[in-house]
Amino acid sequence: MAMKTLVKVLVVALVGAGIGVGVGRMMAPVKETPPTTPLGKLDWGNRHFAQGKLSHPRTDPETRQKLAYEGQHPFAVVLTCADSRVPPEIIFDQGLGDLFVVRVAGNVPDALQIASVEYAVEHLDAPLVVVLGHTQCGAVKATVESQGKHLPGSLPALVAEIEPAYRKVRANYPHLKDKALVERVIRQNVLESLMKLWERSPMVQHLAREGKLTFAGGVYDLKEGTVEWLELPEELAPYAAPLKGEKEDSAEKKQATEHH
Ligand SMILES: [Zn+2]
């Protein structure tokens, strides 16, 4: 094997294993007992989906009727892109009544999106807010590529929402360009959206401080089908949603010590 090819193979292997891509995780085999935390459930469902093992839960007529009569209690709010390749219920393998979904190109929270999130966390008691970006996002790409150019229709309003993330990445990573630049802005845009939601919503802040609300930010990989969970900004770190509950955590630790 030529040296160049070998290096390429190694890089692909490392990136595939989640090394060098922030706090990415390796593809662990799907366990049989689903996790108990809201984020754990999403992560679990996503692994099913990525492995082609969708279970399509809670789409039967009984569930539909029960929800209609008794009301909804979604366990997560997902603010994500309108991209047709990123449907939350499918990529997280969830059913009716599970997710309160807010979608807009570029997953940016303006007043109406914030109001939707507030309704879900305050009125429906949803305990988790996820902002989910995705690879190859057209809205982010348009922002990066439109610098200095005029965009048609109402697109300038959307691009203006993504621009703070773009400017931050430009300042911090001046050497990045093309695809690498877009991918970095996608990640930054998720964090900016979380911060925007936090800063513009006293209600969201209040619920988090009361211990009733946690947050997560992720990037969905269109090709792999997996979601990489990002490290949250400092202000939100105390309210980061756990992947595992306390019980699961201690049970796993116990199992690990028994094996060694
Ligand atoms: Zn998008």
CA of 139 to the centre of ligand 1 (A): 5
Average pLDDT over residues 121-149: 96
Domain spanning 32-245: CATH superfamily:
Carbonic anhydrase (3.40.1050.10)
* Cα–Cα distance for residue pair 96/68, rounded to 1 Å: 10
Q: What is the pLDDT of residues 211-254, one digit of tens each?
A: 999 999 999 999 999 999 999 999 999 999 999 988 787 777 77
CA distances from 32 to 28, 29, 35, 36, 197 (A): 12, 9, 9, 12, 35
CA of 135 to the centre of ligand 1 (A): 8
CA nearest neighbour of 223 among 61, 15, 59, 2: 15
Q: How far is the CA of 218 from the centre of ligand 1 (A)?
A: 13
Higher-confidence position of 4 and 250: 250
Residue 222 CA, ligand 1 centroid: distance in Å: 10
Ligand 1 centroid–CA 173 distance in Å is 22
Type of residue numbered 237: A
Q: State how far the Cα of 173 lies from the Cα of 168, in Å rounded to an integer.
A: 8
Task: Determine the Cα–Cα distance for residues 109 and 106; give it in Å rounded to an integer.
Answer: 9
What spacing in Å lies between the alpha carbon of 80 and ligand 1's midpoint? Answer: 8
**9 CA from centroid of ligand 1 (Å):** 29
Domain ranges of the chain: 32-245
Q: Is the pLDDT of residue 5 over 50?
A: no
- Burial of residue 120 (number of CB atoms within 10 Å: 0-12, 13-18, 19+): buried
When mean pLDDT is compared across 82-96, 147-161, 219-233, the lowest value belongs to 147-161
Q: Ligand 1 mean position to 105 CA, how many Å?
A: 5
How many whole angstroms from 141 Cα to the centroid of ligand 1? 9
